[in-house]
Chains A and B, each alone.
Chain A
Amino acid sequence: MPIGGQKQPPVVRELASAVLDGVELSAEWNRQFETRVIEDYDSSPLFELAALTEAESIEWCYGCGRCVPVCPVDVVGEYGPRKVHRKLQTGINLLDDPDLWLCTTCGNCLRVCPKQVDMIKIMPAAREAAMAQGKEVPAELQGVFESTFKYGNALGQSPRKRPAWTKGAGVPVRDLTKEPGRVEYLLYVEDYWAYHPRGNDAAQAFARIMHRLGIDYGILGHEEKTLGDSQRLAGEKGLFEMLMEQVVETLDRFEFGAIVTPDPHGFNALAKIYPKYGHEFNVLHYTQLLAPRIGELEFTTPLDMRVTFHDPCYLGRHNGEYDAPRQILEALPGLELVEMMRCRENGYCCGGGGGGMWLDGHTVNHTSERLSERRVREAAETGANVLAVCCPYEVSRFEDGVKSTGLDGQLKVRDLAELVDQALGGPGAVS
């Protein structure tokens, strides 16, 4: 008789496939319909992850579940911060799991976590470790890393084309590589305003607004490179640091008072990450530059719009700016601002952060719908006909979402700069 007397070891009940209500389920799913048997209860993946620098808080989770309803991915899938912890406990290595690439680092779990389990630090550390160990990185993301390394932008475009957008602005935009000298503001355009067609629209609108305000500013032209904050959060800290060295070296050669950028991710890098490496710059998000001066603009064209505003995670939750964009919107004639249920501190993520911008092909296999689709449906529920954004990732993400959810014709997506420009009379009105 064994020491355990009559005890028998448990039998694993997992079918290669099973049919439930007519739906065929693979083992991964049908094991949920049997007792969960974990023969080898080895939590070492949890301890190994917690041993990584910046990832120690993964062990602090006490399973309260507050993160679940605010995690944008959990709402549309099986991923969730506390589930990550639980899976690690049961011996599933996050570094080998699709979960590794689902977190957008939106920061909403950390906001509500009573134990300060910090996914914004854990996920990049885990991703970095996965790459160091030669684990598989989703190809689309890998491609972006390579493009960023080669060309200094995520889109794999030629640096020469970076200032091309200025031609369509209808106003002069000073390229400091051609017209050197001190400027009050350095406009750090970042990738999506520089290269994406819809980003170009916003950049050009912004140039017209700056012109109208008479603000002394310039751009780095072909010398600008991405700040790479989303690449950092996607796990490529090395790439981020390399870019930072180059960017700092470039910035040293130009004279400016402060940096203004449309990209909350770039803003985050300059405001929060660069100082950790000893690089201090005055940096403003473009809404922070415009909001105090919005009264100086003479608007000519009432917009006649019902607008709802999407808080970018990296402007709002990560950097605490909720009011500047709203001050701008509220100043526009004929515009009625309505809020979505999830706004401000609780804003729902568009799915683009933390590398999510370049992981749609991966994420789509693990979610019931895209985060951007969920968000545009929420925007439409408010009765708004315009979804206003102030992050360069979002126009393209949400416009795709509008199309795929059938909201075409009902909801438009507009950058704040485009709305301001339109209220000023648009491109034709520029003197």
Chain B
Amino acid sequence: MSDRVVVIGGGPGGIEAARQVADLGLPAVLVEQRERLGGTPIFANYAALTPYFANAEEAMDAMIAELAQRGRAEVRTSTTVTGLSGEAGAFTVELSTGERLDAGAVIVATGFDHFDPGRERQIYNYYQYPDVLALQDLEAQLKEHKVVVPSTGRPPASICWVQCVGSRDRNIGNEWCSKVCCGIASKQAIEVRKLSPETRAYIFYIDMRMYGYWETQLYWPAQEQYHVQYIKGIITEVLERGDRLIVRGEDTTMGRPMEVPMDMVILSVGMEPSAGTKAMSDVLGIERNRHGFIEVINPPLDTVTTSRRGIFACGAALGPADLEDTISSAGAAAGKAVALVRRDNLAVA
């Protein structure tokens, strides 16, 4: 038997899960395939975290530093999990480095990938036009405290966000709402208006999905203080006329097609199961749901238990999730993992 908990994935969810396991008194090993911890907020160049506008790098560094203070939490970077044998309470986890770890439980925190707008059936011309960007591309600019049209290097006179790109779409096969993109677009619009007050900002949407407090944390301030224009009507295509981008969509309120010239277009791409989520579910032998995210077996009152006893999952490995959801489910996964290991050890004793 082993009381160690192995956590796979060194983003916010994995770091939090490892920290919680350690705080609850058990040894944790956090395995991360990249060369450092931090996950998507770091590697996708996030500027400020939604919805509180904390500097992403500082926030993640603080989280990583806190983890390092826990004696019971070890980290393996540039490492992947290559095999799993045994059963709950007595797993053997094989690592790409050749190391074999015994573990009582495993937590999967493999996160999400950004939807690739090249797969979009609508014509947004992401790869054709330099001035069509995705959310994470604009994040990289915001991280450097600038907003510029890529083709000119100058601040845009107008910028718009197109919502629901790669989400809620049977054609693409992504039949879920990605939950966060409405809030992220609003957050970015606020940041753009702060950095470049002359830039006119528009958000084209089907419906604004602002869960709970995001309504007043993001949506209303964007509208009322930063004068971001929200337009009910989705954009179907981004085309070029002369040297200007033209966005074409529906003006839903007026019930007519609409065409607007725009300097810069941001595609609010949704979340997809990450490559790591797919790979790890295969290695660990746990079920994915029909969307490709990891399946939980006892919803809604258990949000983290997977189909294989002793393996739990958290964050966006389970489906679209914002950071607060991720941190919460990481805590739940850590709690259940620790409880299981203790019960198993108790039963042996």
Contacts and interface: CB of A to CB of B under 8 A. Distances in A.
Interface of A: 60, 62-71, 74-75, 83, 111-116, 341-342, 345-346
A83 B234 CA distance: 15
19 contacts: A63-B206, A64-B164, A64-B206, A64-B234, A65-B249, A66-B234, A66-B236, A68-B236, A68-B250, A70-B248, A71-B257, A112-B122, A112-B237, A114-B164, A115-B170, A116-B170, A341-B239, A341-B246, A346-B239
A388 B59 CA distance: 59
B169 A114 contact: yes
Given A66-B122, A70-B236, A346-B239, 16 more contacts: A65-B233, A65-B249, A66-B249, A66-B250, A68-B233, A69-B258, A69-B259, A70-B248, A71-B257, A111-B121, A112-B122, A112-B237, A114-B164, A114-B170, A114-B172, A341-B241
A114 B172 CA distance: 8
A345 B255 CA distance: 24
B171 A69 contact: no
Interface of B: 121-123, 164, 168-172, 206, 233-234, 236-237, 239-241, 246, 248-250, 252, 255-259
Contacts of A71: 257
A119 to B, nearest CB: 14
A358 to B, nearest CB: 26
Contacts of A65: 206, 233-234, 249-250, 252
Nearest to B233: A65
Nearest to B232: A65
Contact of B236 (A69, A115, A341): A69
Contacts of B252: 65
Contacts of A64: 164, 168, 206, 234
Closest 5 CB pairs between A and B?
Answer: A65-B250, A68-B250, A114-B169, A69-B248, A69-B257
Contacts of B121: 111-112
A75 B255 CA distance: 11
A346 B123 contact: yes
A346 B249 contact: no
A345 B123 contact: yes
Contacts of A67: 236
Contacts of A83: 255
Contact of A114 (B171, B249, B250, B258): B171
A67 B249 CA distance: 8
Contacts of A74: 257
Contacts of B172: 114
B312 to A, nearest CB: 33
B249 A69 contact: yes
User: Which of A111, A112, A116, A346 gathers the greatest number of chain B CB atoms within 10 Å?
Assistant: A112
Contacts of A111: 121
B241 A113 contact: no
Nearest to A110: B171
Nearest to A114: B169
Nearest to A344: B123
B257 A68 contact: yes
A75 B122 CA distance: 17
B32 to A, nearest CB: 35
Contacts of B164: 64, 114
Contacts of A68: 233, 236, 249-250, 256-257
Nearest to A78: B255
Contacts of A60: 170
Contacts of B258: 69
A111 B120 CA distance: 10
B236 A112 contact: yes
Contacts of A116: 170-171
B237 A346 contact: yes
Given A69-B248, A69-B249, A75 B257 contact: yes
Nearest to B122: A112
Nearest to B259: A69
A111 B164 CA distance: 16
A423 B255 CA distance: 47
Nearest to B206: A64
Contacts of A113: 171
Nearest to B168: A114
Given A64-B234, A74-B257, A83-B255, A69 B169 contact: no
Nearest to B249: A69
B11 to A, nearest CB: 29
Contacts of B170: 60, 114-116
Nearest to B237: A346
Nearest to A109: B236
Contacts of B255: 83
Contacts of A66: 122, 234, 236, 249-250
A53 B173 CA distance: 24
Contacts of A62: 168, 206
A120 to B, nearest CB: 14
B244 to A, nearest CB: 11
Nearest to B204: A65
Contacts of A114: 164, 168-172
A62 B234 CA distance: 12
Contacts of A63: 206
B87 to A, nearest CB: 42
A70 B257 CA distance: 8
A75 B256 CA distance: 8
A122 to B, nearest CB: 16
Nearest to A116: B170
A68 to B, nearest CB: 4
Contacts of A342: 239
B146 to A, nearest CB: 31
Contacts of B257: 68-69, 71, 74-75
B250 A69 contact: yes
Listed residue (B122, B234, B250) with the most chain A CB atoms within 10 angstroms of its CB = B250
A60 B255 CA distance: 20
Nearest to A346: B123
A34 to B, nearest CB: 16
Contact of A69 (B206, B237, B240, B241): B237
